[in-house]
Amino acid sequence: MVEGKILKVSGPLVVAEGMREANMFDVVRVGEKKLIGEIIEMHGDRASIQVYEETAGIGRGDKVVSTGAPLSVELGPGLLSNIYDGIQRPLEVMREKYGSNLTRGIDEPALDREKLWHFEAALKYGDEVESGDVLGIVQENEVINLKIMVPPKMKGTIVDLKSGDFRVTDPIGKIKLSDGNVENLTLLQKWPVRLARPYKEKLPPVDPMVTGQRVIDALFPIAKGGTACVPGPFGSGKTVVQHQLAKWSDVDLVVYIGCGERGNEMTDVLREFPELTDPRTGKSLMERTVLIANTSDMPVAAREASIYTGITIAEYFRDMGYSVAVIADSTSRWAEALREMSGRLEEMPGEEGYPAYLTSRLAQFYERAGKVVCLGSDGREGALSAIGAVSPQGGDISEPVTQATLRIVKVFWGLDATLAYRRHFPAINWLNSYSLYRDRLSGWFKEHVSKSWMDYTARCLKTLQLEADLQEIVKLVGMDALSPEDRLTLDVAQSIREDFLQQNAFEGFDSYTPLAKQNALLELIFTYEDLARDAVKKGADVESVCELPVHERIGRAKAAPTDSYEAEYASIKNEMVSQLDELVAAAKED
Amino acid sequence: MIREYKTIEEVAGPLMLVKQVEGAKYDELGEIELPDGEVRRCRVLEVNGRNVLVQLFESAAGLNIANSKVRFSGHGVELPVSPNMLGRVFNGMGEAIDGGARIIPEKSLDINGTPINPAARYYPSEFIQTGVSTIDGLNTLVRGQKLPIFSGSGLPHANLAAQIARQAKVRNTDDKFAVVFAAIGITFEEADFFISDFKKTGAIDRTVLFINLASDAAIERISTPRMALTAAEYLAFECNMHVLVILTDITNYAEALREVSAARKEVPGRRGYPGYLYTDLATMYERAGRKMGSDGSITMIPILSMPEDDKTHPIPDLTGYITEGQIILSRELYRKGFLPPVDVMPSLSRLKDKGIGAGKTREDHANTMNQLFSAYSRGKEAKELMVVLGEAALSPIDRLYAKFADAFEAEYINQGFYENRSIEETLDLGWKLLSILPRSEMKRIKPEFIEKYWPKEAHA
């Protein structure tokens, strides 16, 4: 056990001497209060330590003791439905034991040491196993079967394994390793957060992560195992978009990292998710969710760690063959934490004071996403999708964090303050957002939704682009200067914006739209366009077409109940036909 | 035994370096005794071997390197608190300056507080009626929220804040209510405006004031808001009161922070403000809220003046990322004489959705709010178009929208600083204005509400 003495304290940075024997990135306990820290630099026998708790009251000469192990998370039954801080301390337990404010130097295990879990063994004596093989199952809750796996880097023969009720640290069996040593197996595994968990092989992502958010699924889809970012100024609805993704994405598990954001937002998730039902399982959404909270008033160094804590937990579930989404709100706060530590280490700054390694750290984070063949002999596949919010200062996306992120991620959902002021939500700007997965996912959409899906969505994008061009003209010379065709284009674009893209996160059937309904809604809008163009060609007055009463029903179509929208849409189409026919007939009489 | 050091090596701006110190702790409170016996306070910013860098809370004028003595207190900066603080005036360092009786403290609390465990928070959802239509109707404030006012030089943010402090109440309750007011580097006149307003309405008896004026040491401003918040936390979470905290002006606070950061030669972020400005502001703003184990709450209204009315300036920008919405004042409305000049489009209350509706305000609130927003937005667009192309270019319906926008500004926004509207009055006024438009335009309102609330007589 290496023990040193403190030389320097500057905010979350502590320098200690007498640490020559300690390892880089070892966790240390600082001072009498035993604050948790991590060695981030070594110079001779001096170690620079970032401390994950407030350092007030620490001074020269205080003791620093290395634990000899890197910052790790505990993986096993009990993670789900839980809320942790940035270094995986259980916040509910801390509240019960230590009151409603966070006190320092608390050391609580992440997983309950007393609770018994029922383990059902899947293997038996004499089975040859390699790392990743499923030893057995713990039914953690009604939604998730937790697969207990042989830890990475282990290979050998099972010499003992039994079903039964165990605490997380109890031995459930023994494995004889290839080198002859026998080791105990437990439900609990530990893994260092800064190291990506291994897998066999990475695969290209080919299936979409369906979110039920129309602008995302139809225009800028994300793949399972893909990466996306959501930059936007404050008030543009970043958090609502993130919450919607956490609620409705068709993944098995969600790890939600509140990184340097508002305390009340985490509370909102914590109080609201248990009340919501997952449309696919019919169970509470909280049962598939793990929350990591480092709110903006919590110590800044732990913010840096929270991202890694979250993604390591997600990788653990991915290794079981699940599809997992990591949602990080916001990576800008994480980058600022890096900047603060870098400044205190007196490193040479890059752009806007951010350290020069900002881009590579961001890339490392997002590269831990992906669709993979997991370890284990059964060849199961898991996917980890990563979605990061970015909070650019002043909404200016030319700043370093957004730019560095855009170089890595494949999907960009750019939030726009002007849309938000007009109460167009989700305020994802259709002109500058993009998804590089559109082509790769087209096969899936054609097979599982409809053959025309890709055409409809491409037509949406094209119409919206045309609208932007036409708006320029309208601003200069007024609406009257447009040809009837162009006038109709504006009408259809408005319908796409208001009746399709706008989606109310807080309203019953509108909050989540299944793909089939999205497709039907698009079909409805484009049927209108085709019929309207035809009617105008036959002489109908374009202004009258744009003011047809059927528009109001199209406008309410998105809120139609999921199980009965088809009849409603068919009836709207009939009304469209008859109203347009009347106009054509009237035109012929004139 | 407390040791005294006569080893001051350097004084530069707000910073002082003391050498050969044993046992000073990070963030510890220190005292400097001048040769004439005067005592000033300081705080440890960095311990580096035996060198200790401290930040002064007062001006360095008259400080003599050779003969001044420094001692460290063994604890952080603390505020002695007691329920008797109500009705009293303190300076920015928490010392009573109103000449009243000495306060016998119940306890002393560290002014930095500790973070609230998010698992121990209650989500704020109790509607506060401020009597201001643009806030109650469109950007509803709830208990435990932090809702800043973004203002600019020459705009009447002080009047609005005073109006809220005067009128705010949670209906159908008689909970204990208090105001904590922190003046951070504002002028005597502005501080006096608040004090005399509190006196006039009798609110002064349930108010705690912390005053750091423009003429006081800038560096003291770093602790002023924390003093105020510590007092607020004590009143809210230990005395179970509902506390409204008004902090004005955060811009002065951020500038004091920049001064210290620049003196330490730290790598600056945007516009010379330190890279940790976000974290620093968050540790203040996040102290608002409600938490388990206490019936009290802290609702916070920080006021900040945006340099050049620029919302993307780091101070309003970072504030907006932390607070739960913002009330933005508009110079244009102010010039038109509409008071309070709340710019409703970019203003926002993030917590409104759970504070309104049946049982809290009224069932039609959410629907009418959305309809008012969209109608006002369309009306403003129509008016812009009218400027370019003339009124004749507008369709008849757009002309109605333009008319609506004008009436909305003149009646809904414009209410003056002394009219106290109940939420029903605000909602009914909304309906009256909406009835300028045809009923078929009410696409965001459920038909049953239109049936129930649509005004019987058409708008004159």
Which helix (H) or strand (E) segment holds residue A189: the answer is strand A189-192
Report how far Cα A351 is from the mean position of its chain's Cα atoms. 27
CA nearest to A337 within chain B: B276
CB B128 within 8 A of CB B141: yes
DSSP codes joined into one string, A232-301 = --TTS-HHHHHHHHHHH-S-SEEEEEEES--HHHHHHHHHHGGGSBPTTTSSBGGGGEEEEEE-TTS-HH
Alpha helices in B34-174 (DSSP H): 133, 157-167
Question: For residue A530, which amino acid is it?
Answer: D
Residues of B in contact with A13 (CB under 8 A): none
Nearest residue, CB atoms, B266 vs list A343, A478, A480:
A343
Rounded CA separation A286/A277 (Å): 9
- Tell me how close the Cα of A60 comes to any Cα of chain B, in angstroms: 6
Rounded CA separation A226/A290 (Å): 20
**What integer pLDDT is reported at residue B458 of this predicted model?**
54
Nearest residue, CB atoms, A353 vs list B120, B121, B269:
B269
B47 interfaces chain A, CB cutoff of 8 Å: yes
- The pairs formed by A275-278 with CB atoms below 8 angstroms and a separation of 24 or more are A276/A247, A278/A143
CA atoms within 13 A on the CB side of A439: 2
- Tell me how close the Cα of B246 comes to any Cα of chain A, in angstroms: 19
Nearest to A143, CA basis, from A287, A307, A18: A287
What does the H/E/C string look like for A14-52? EEEECCCCCCCCEEEEECCCCEEEEEEEEECCEEEEEEC
User: Residue A563 is encoded by which pair of tokens?
Assistant: 């199980």
pLDDT tens figures, A147-156: 999 999 999 9
Cβ of A100 and B291 within 8 Å?
yes
CA nearest to B21 within chain A: A60
Cβ of A101 and B114 within 8 Å?
yes
pLDDT tens figures, B357-406: 988 999 999 999 989 998 999 899 899 888 888 888 788 888 999 999 99
Length of chain B: 460
> Does residue B460 carry a pLDDT above 50?
no
Cβ of A95 and B269 within 8 Å?
no
Cβ of B123 and A264 within 8 Å?
yes
CA nearest to B24 within chain A: A59
* Phi, then psi, of B408 in degrees rounded to 5: -60, -45
Cβ of B276 and A101 within 8 Å?
no
Name the most confidently modeled range: A272-286, B229-243, B267-281: B229-243
**What integer pLDDT is reported at residue B143 of this predicted model?**
94
Exposed, middle or buried by CB within 10 Å (0-12, 13-18, 19+), for A522? buried
CA nearest to A559 within chain B: B444
CA atoms within 13 A on the CB side of B245: 37
**What integer pLDDT is reported at residue B1 of this predicted model?**
63
- Tell me how close the Cα of B45 comes to any Cα of chain A, in angstroms: 7
**A66: which strand partners?**
A28
CA nearest to A351 within chain B: B269
Nearest residue, CB atoms, B312 vs list A57, A299, A394:
A394
Cβ of B275 and A101 within 8 Å?
no
Nearest residue, CB atoms, B119 vs list A8, A83, A478:
A83
Nearest residue, CB atoms, A297 vs list B24, B286, B326:
B286
Residues of A in contact with B283 (CB under 8 A): 296-297
- Tell me how close the Cα of A215 comes to any Cα of chain B, in angstroms: 21
- For testing the chain B interface, which of A5, A7, A8, A9 should be mutated: the one with the most B CBs within 10 Å? A9
CB A488 within 8 A of CB A542: yes
Q: Interhelix angle for A238-248 vs A263-272, to 10°?
A: 30
Would the CA dihedral through B251, B255, B256, B260 be positive or negative? positive
Cβ of A422 and B377 within 8 Å?
yes
CB B405 within 8 A of CB B379: yes
Cβ of A83 and B115 within 8 Å?
no
Which helix (H) or strand (E) segment holds residue A447: the answer is helix A438-448
CB A254 within 8 A of CB A265: no
- For testing the chain B interface, which of A60, A286, A548 should be mutated: the one with the most B CBs within 10 Å? A60
Residue A321 three-state SS: coil
Mean pLDDT of B39-44: 92
Cβ of B116 and A61 within 8 Å?
no
CB A386 within 8 A of CB A229: no
User: Which residues lie closer than 8 Å to A571 by C-beta, 6 or more apart?
Assistant: none
Cβ of A58 and B26 within 8 Å?
yes
CA nearest to A339 within chain B: B275
* Phi, then psi, of B119 in degrees rounded to 5: -75, -10
* Phi, then psi, of A46 in degrees rounded to 5: -100, 130
Mean pLDDT of B273-301: 93
CB A144 within 8 A of CB A96: no
- Partner A, chain B 127-146, Cβ-Cβ below 8 Å: 144
Cβ of B121 and A235 within 8 Å?
no
What does the H/E/C string look like for A201-231? EEECCCCECCCCCHHHHHHCCCECCCEEEEE
DSSP codes joined into one string, B179-197 = EEEEEEEE-HHHHHHHHHH
Report how far Cα A556 is from the mean position of its chain's Cα atoms. 30
Residues of B in contact with A270 (CB under 8 A): 118-119
B23 interfaces chain A, CB cutoff of 8 Å: yes
**What integer pLDDT is reported at residue A41 of this predicted model?**
92
Nearest to A541, CA basis, from A491, A473, A575, A477: A491
Rounded CA separation A435/A447 (Å): 20
Exposed, middle or buried by CB within 10 Å (0-12, 13-18, 19+), for B211? buried
**What integer pLDDT is reported at residue A362 of this predicted model?**
95
Residues of A in contact with B438 (CB under 8 A): none
- For testing the chain A interface, which of B48, B117, B287 should be mutated: the one with the most A CBs within 10 Å? B117
Alpha helices in B137-241 (DSSP H): 157-167, 188-201, 224-233
Q: Would you state the torsion angle of the CA atoms of residues B251, B255, B257, B263, taken in this order, to the nearest 10 degrees?
A: 170
Rounded CA separation A458/A516 (Å): 17
Q: What is the pLDDT along chain A (590 residues), one digit of tens a residue?
A: 789 999 999 989 999 999 999 999 999 999 999 999 999 999 999 999 999 999 999 999 999 999 999 999 999 999 999 999 999 999 999 999 999 999 888 889 999 999 999 999 999 999 999 999 999 999 998 889 999 999 999 999 999 999 999 999 999 999 999 899 999 999 999 999 999 999 999 999 999 999 999 999 999 999 999 999 999 988 888 889 999 999 999 999 999 999 988 999 899 988 888 988 887 788 899 999 999 999 999 988 889 999 999 999 999 999 999 999 999 998 999 998 898 888 888 888 888 889 999 999 999 999 999 999 999 999 999 999 999 999 998 888 899 999 999 999 999 999 998 898 888 899 999 999 999 999 999 999 999 999 999 999 999 999 999 999 998 888 788 777 889 999 999 999 999 999 999 998 887 789 999 999 999 999 999 999 999 999 999 999 998 998 898 998 898 899 899 999 999 999 999 999 999 999 999 988 87
Residue A369 three-state SS: coil
Residues of A in contact with B320 (CB under 8 A): 233-235
Q: Which residue has the tokens 């037509």?
A: A459
CB A240 within 8 A of CB A419: no
Nearest residue, CB atoms, B276 vs list A266, A340, A478:
A340
Exposed, middle or buried by CB within 10 Å (0-12, 13-18, 19+), for A468? exposed
User: Residue A373 is encoded by which pair of tokens?
Assistant: 């063949």
Which helix (H) or strand (E) segment holds residue A128: the answer is strand A128-130
Instruction: Compute and round to an integer the Cα radius of gyration of chain A.
Output: 28
Rounded CA separation A138/A119 (Å): 5
Cβ of A263 and B116 within 8 Å?
yes
Rounded CA separation A537/B262 (Å): 70
**B79: which strand partners?**
B109
Rounded CA separation B225/B245 (Å): 10
B370 interfaces chain A, CB cutoff of 8 Å: yes
pLDDT tens figures, B393-427: 788 888 999 999 999 999 999 999 999 999 999 99
Cβ of A298 and B276 within 8 Å?
no
**What integer pLDDT is reported at residue B194 of this predicted model?**
92
B296 interfaces chain A, CB cutoff of 8 Å: no
